[in-house]
A and B are shown apart, each in its own frame.
Chain A
């Protein structure tokens, strides 16, 4: 299939499908959990909220924020991954591999340990700052040298810096049992126990960055052809790179701040989209924004049901799904050429 020239009608159908999938997954996320509720209760909880109905309280107070965070964080991870992969021309570009998660984890544990912050809403800015710092550092380390940031160099720089931050995190956790007890649940990556406060703080950031990312498709397309080609097409490559970088950091940072360190959503979703639609980033970014939430919420629902009545954190589920995917990707011949 020559995917680059899909007609508008195909895309309309595709976008409709992706949107419908998102709505279905969102509804499932509102319905399923330890307590199962029917669609009517969900409907009432959202539109005719009755504080005295326990099922409605569960939906309204726990599952609605959880689903919103899943949608925002999923879109954030996936679009950040899509932008990184396009701009760096690197199939492994994604927040988890570039040290974002390790940076956020280190900053959050530091905050718990030294500032005694204990609420997820308090972690937000620390997670954001840590994610930012680590990503920039990884990119600097990987792009040093003549050959620039090749896939292997990026992955290795990310792994090394993650390992470094990870051991510092481990040291802090060892010094204080209470910090370990506090942090271990955040560190697993989870959509539960997060309130609406984080959403209110980060919604503007995510919205602006998502909008900017959606407008950048044409520029990313040019850059994904290579530096010379993009310059030849009249692009100011440095400006595009900087804007894209800003979007990536804002999206990935917000996503980690909301959901904790969740790996692989940012890696897998853009790849799946690209393998179906071809290398047009105008569409890849848009579909990633719709399908990222589906994957994250889907993993979250699996985590809620699989060892019910206990819960498996979404970070664990997504690593269990995503790591085999990464290996499959690496074994493909496409990567070997890059």
Chain B
């Protein structure tokens, strides 16, 4: 068994183990055996509500969102060839957040929230792409335009936070931190649809991405249409990020951190590494959510806060690696 394959197996096992832990632990104690039985076949169990309506959907949402975010981050990092890029850094999450905060701050129907967030994410991605297009496409320009758009949208959010009464503002602040605690089967279904459409597309793009990594000239010589391929990669990456942010809110650093870890463990970008990235994404979000639930129990932190806290050590890790390379 190759190194990548064994790492994938280990990650998959990790996901299963964390999922079981996610079903078992919580404020309401459920014995492990009972929890599994209830989740898998025993519909009549006394734990049915806790396990099947609260914990199981939450675990599934964490797994799916983790996979989507990690794959999205891997696409962006490979395309732009920079380990510090991810959809949340270039403003796609902020676009979603601006729309979502508008819905909450204006006191509109909260059922609009996921649609508004999705529209915000897709609109922002489109805007960034259009504005960074100038006689062709450059990854560096995309990043910088994204950072500019991010600042602009942050100002819009700040305006709304200052302008509206504190009760609505606090709901908006809560949403912005990214939380899995109210996940439902409906959320899981939305994520599953997005994943089923976009993750296979990401795997189909692997060849083009690997060729593009060799440089523009080589890619053209090998018959890869640069602009169409780039556009497809960006659409798929943004679509994944937009789906997740619409369902669970902005969860920083999963998309940034996981592809990096996968690369460090398994080497250069390939199908196996992308699979490993996806699985590790699920592992990271599951464990972040568990920490968020249990660290200050019964107070539940938003998962986004925990994923961001994991970003600190990661930065030190990048710093050390860069220094060694220099």
Contacts and interface: CB of A to CB of B under 8 A. Distances in A.
A170 B155 contact: no
Interface stretch (B138-146, B194-202, B206-214): B138-146
B286 interface: no
A187 interface: yes
Interface stretch (B30-38, B115-123, B230-238, B299-307): B299-307
B315 A171 contact: no
Contacts of A188: 158-159, 161-162
A313 B159 CA distance: 8
Interface stretch (B9-17, B269-277, B316-324): B316-324
Interface stretch (B18-26, B58-66, B171-179, B216-224): B171-179
Contacts, number: 157
A144 B309 contact: no
Given A184-B162, A263-B151, A316-B155, A330 B309 contact: no
A153 B308 CA distance: 20
A59 B174 CA distance: 39
A153 B85 CA distance: 10
B147 A97 contact: yes
The dominant DSSP class at the B interface is: helix
B305 A167 contact: yes
Contact of A146 (B89, B140, B162, B326): B326
Nearest to B179: A174
Contacts of A177: 166, 170
A151 B143 CA distance: 11
Given A174-B177, A180-B166, A155 B144 contact: yes
Contacts of A323: 148-149, 151-152, 155
Contacts of B305: 167-168, 170-171, 174
A164 B150 contact: no
A164 B170 contact: no
Contacts of B309: 167-168
Given A146-B325, A152-B143, A264 B308 contact: no
Contacts of B143: 152, 155-156
B93 to A, nearest CB: 9
Contact of B302 (A92, A174, A313): A174
Interface magnitude class on chain B: 35 or more
B119 to A, nearest CB: 20
Contact of B151 (A174, A181, A326): A326
A96 interface: yes
Contacts of B176: 170
B240 interface: no
The dominant DSSP class at the A interface is: helix
B88 interface: yes
B308 A167 contact: yes
Interface string A160-182: 11011001101101100100110
Given A156-B85, A163-B308, A330-B145, A141 B318 contact: yes
A327 B177 contact: no
Interface string A295-338: 00000000000000010110110011011101100110001100
Interface residues of A, number: 51
A168 B253 CA distance: 12
A184 to B, nearest CB: 5
A163 B252 contact: yes
A185 interface: yes
B111 interface: no
Given A141-B318, A145-B322, A159-B150, A330 B155 contact: no
A160 B166 contact: no
B151 A330 contact: no
Contact of A163 (B88, B132, B173, B325): B88
A164 B315 contact: yes
B256 interface: yes
B126 interface: no
Given A163-B308, A164-B308, A330-B141, A320 B155 contact: yes
A336 B145 CA distance: 12
A111 B154 CA distance: 22
Contact of A167 (B174, B252, B322): B252
Nearest to A183: B161
A92 B301 CA distance: 36
8 smallest A-B Cβ distances: which pairs?
A167-B308, A319-B155, A144-B322, A323-B152, A326-B148, A145-B322, A171-B305, A156-B84
Interface of A: 92, 96-97, 140-141, 144-146, 151-153, 155-157, 159-161, 163-164, 167-168, 170-171, 173-174, 177, 180-181, 184-185, 187-189, 263-264, 310, 312-313, 315-316, 319-320, 322-324, 326-327, 330-331, 335-336
19 contacts: A145-B323, A145-B325, A151-B140, A155-B147, A160-B84, A160-B311, A164-B312, A167-B311, A170-B305, A171-B177, A174-B305, A177-B170, A316-B158, A319-B155, A323-B149, A324-B152, A330-B145, A331-B132, A335-B141
